[in-house]
Amino acid sequence: MELVEFQDKDEERIPKASKTDKEIQAIKIALDQGEKEMKGVALGLCEWKDDLLWYQGKIWIPNEEDLRTTIIHKCHDKPNGRTQRHGKKQ
């Protein structure tokens, strides 16, 4: 697994988008109410910490296309602008 460093503007975007994401907010409410089950989500693997929803130790990214695209690019784009798969440059 590769860790991604976020710039300050990205760090602020995730909690802000989390506040308006319906799915994340539903999970947060369920966690706050001490519920153990929720359709489609293993609540026992979720944790609300630092204004973020964590799932199995990873941040749950809000369903905001621009934010997700930015994160995907940071995770997959190499410094030379090319992606690398199976040891070959594409």
The answer to whether residue 28 is domain-embedded is: yes
Tell me, what's the pLDDT at 2? Answer: 46
Label residue 1 by pLDDT band (50, 70, 90). Answer: very low
The answer to whether residue 37 is domain-embedded is: yes
Q: Is the pLDDT of residue 22 over 70?
A: yes
Residue 44 φ/ψ, nearest 5 degrees = -65, -20
pLDDT in tens, 31-88: 999 998 999 999 999 999 989 999 999 999 999 999 989 888 877 765 655 545 555 4
The answer to whether residue 55 is domain-embedded is: yes
* This prediction's pTM: 0.72
Number of domains into which the chain is organized: 1
Burial of 20 (0-12, 13-18, 19+ CB in 10 A): exposed
